[in-house]
Structure 1
Amino acid sequence: MSRVLLRVALAAGLPVVLVAVWWAASAGSTQTYWPPLETILRAFPEVWTAERLRGDVLPSVVRLAGGYALAAAAGVALGTVIGSGRRVRAVCEPVLEFLRAVPPPVLVPVIMLFAGIGDTMKVTVIAAGCVWPVLLNTVEGVRAVDPVLTETARCYGVSGTARLRHVVLRSASPQIFAGLRQALSIGIILMVISEMFAASNGLGFAIVQFQRGFAIADMWTGILLLGLLGFVLSVVFRLVERRALAWYHGLRTSARRSP
């Protein structure tokens, strides 16, 4: 119990310190664009009512989930194919490096020409940015599969879908989850950026509307809500990751304890 309390205290220590510093630094501020934290927190429940959460935050989360899921599926599928074949990898790597170097926000106007200004555009922008860390980490994870393990599976007659599922993807899953973790933060950024272009709802749209209406305290509440959303999604992802990679963490724990 004491270890759990210690971990909670360590995790909450830095946020508490940062909030305290922000509170002290902004107390009594009369600047228009730097309102006191007390004013922002007081405005938070007034701005983000249940109706606004349904109208702005829920659509943002749905778009993020859709784009993230598409990126995860495409990244793992393509990464497995590219990582499994040396010739395929040699052909695809120059193109992948070129496309990866293009910042996803730059593609927003181009995607708007083909997908319009609706939810399809926003989901496509999120997927286009999130797919690269998943894809590249999957390629590296598949390349790093132990050849002895692969040969052992072949000797025991494990082939086809069973080999892909139980040998290749399982061995590469720690690297795949590392890419998924990186993609989550990228997806949140692109979610906001995509909603700043010709949108009618969403968290990014609401923040821009507050800024244009000089509702600065309300704008800061949107930024705080965005940070809270990112934190919650990070915690959920960590729980899923620990459950999916329980075998991997168990092996690492056993390796550390062994003499």
Structure 2
Amino acid sequence: MKARFFWYGASVLFAALIVYVWHLVAQAKLISNVFLPQPERVLASLERGFASGTLSNNFVATMERMFYGWILASITGIGLGAVIGSSRRAQAYISTTLELLRPLPASAVIPVAIALLGLNETAVLTVIAFGAVWPCLLSTLHGFQKVEPRLYEVAQVLGFSRLATAVKIALPSATPDILAGLRISLTSALALSVAGEMLVGVDGLGQTIIIAGRMFRSPDVFAGVILLAVIGMISAAALGLLDRFLLRWKHLQR
């Protein structure tokens, strides 16, 4: 417990040191304030944005977009990964198509999504889901494929159906891998939410940042980036709690 508090305090002090160095560099104008505003100006931008409701609305919009895209990617990825990992026939039919799609960068899918779906929310969610699905799918596939073969033998002896074997045997064994994939997927979902907002033009922190950047309002740019970091921290903390709940047996063994 003491070690945990020590490292937490060290991380807070390190963050404070970064802000202090930032303040000194901006104060000395080693970098033009047009590009590197003082921390006080960024704080003032945050206060104005939340007071007017603009930043709070965009903050919620980006967080919701990230969450919905991530949920869609998670359901699709875990479902496909479980099917492919549990069935050689499914792997033979699906794996070739997946290997063709997997190398495609999500950013390259954005123009296609806009052309097919238009400049709307559906296009952004489609891009987020496409880019965020692969960590979930591959981690689930890896988790199912590394299940101890003897567990499947036990399931056969007990007369489990294929579905019962997947749910009661393979899924619990693959859960650590799936959770690792969900963490990476959530990071991808946040990045793609911002990229989609910038290119499609829907409300969100991505649009706030790109508009402020075009108008050389660097405090607003930094305010948007800070809020994106806050979203990342909240997401990581939420997944950490989910990890501790689902894998509490693993933490008890430590």
TM-score (norm 2): 0.91
CA distance in 2, matches of 1:54, 1:40: 15
Residue in 1 that maps onto 2:26: 26
Residue in 2 that maps onto 1:73: 75
Residue in 1 that maps onto 2:187: 185
Q: Which moved more, 1:86-95 or 1:99-108?
A: 86-95
Q: Counterparts of 1:227-238 in structure 2 under 5 Å?
A: 227-238=229-240
Residue in 2 that maps onto 1:162: 164
Residue in 2 that maps onto 1:2: 2
CA distance in 2, matches of 1:243, 1:50: 38
Residue in 2 that maps onto 1:109: 111
Runs (5+) with no aligned partner, structure 1: 254-259
Residue in 2 that maps onto 1:49: 51
Q: Which moved more, 1:5-14 or 1:124-133?
A: 5-14
Query: How far did residue 136 of structure 1 move?
Result: 0.8
Residue in 2 that maps onto 1:256: none
Q: Counterparts of 1:98-177 in structure 2 under 5 Å?
A: 98-177=100-179
State the Cα RMSD in Å: 1.9
Aligned-partner residue type, residue 9 of structure 2:
A
Does structure 2 conserve the Cα–Cα contact (< 8 Å) formed by 1:210 and 1:216? yes
CA distance in 1, matches of 2:248, 2:158: 25
Does structure 1 conserve the Cα–Cα contact (< 8 Å) formed by 2:139 and 2:181? yes
Does structure 1 conserve the Cα–Cα contact (< 8 Å) formed by 2:34 and 2:217? no
- Alpha-carbon deviations, 1:96-144, whole Å to 9, x = none? 2331111101110101111211111111111010000100111111000
CA distance in 2, matches of 1:27, 1:241: 43
Aligned-partner residue type, residue 24 of structure 1:
L
CA distance in 2, matches of 1:18, 1:93: 46
Does structure 1 conserve the Cα–Cα contact (< 8 Å) formed by 2:69 and 2:129? yes
Residue in 2 that maps onto 1:257: none
CA distance in 2, matches of 1:207, 1:174: 36
Aligned-partner residue type, residue 196 of structure 1:
M
Does structure 2 conserve the Cα–Cα contact (< 8 Å) formed by 1:174 and 1:248? no
Identical pairs, percent: 32
Query: How far did residue 160 of structure 1 move?
Result: 4.0
Secondary structure in 1 matching 2:36: coil
Does structure 1 conserve the Cα–Cα contact (< 8 Å) formed by 2:86 and 2:166? no
Residue in 2 that maps onto 1:17: 17
Does structure 2 conserve the Cα–Cα contact (< 8 Å) formed by 1:129 and 1:187? yes
Residue in 2 that maps onto 1:213: 215
Secondary structure in 1 matching 2:37: coil
**Structure 2 vs 1, CA of residues 46 and 192 (structure 1 numbering), >3 Å: closer, same or farther?**
same
Does structure 2 conserve the Cα–Cα contact (< 8 Å) formed by 1:40 and 1:221? yes
CA distance in 2, matches of 1:87, 1:200: 42
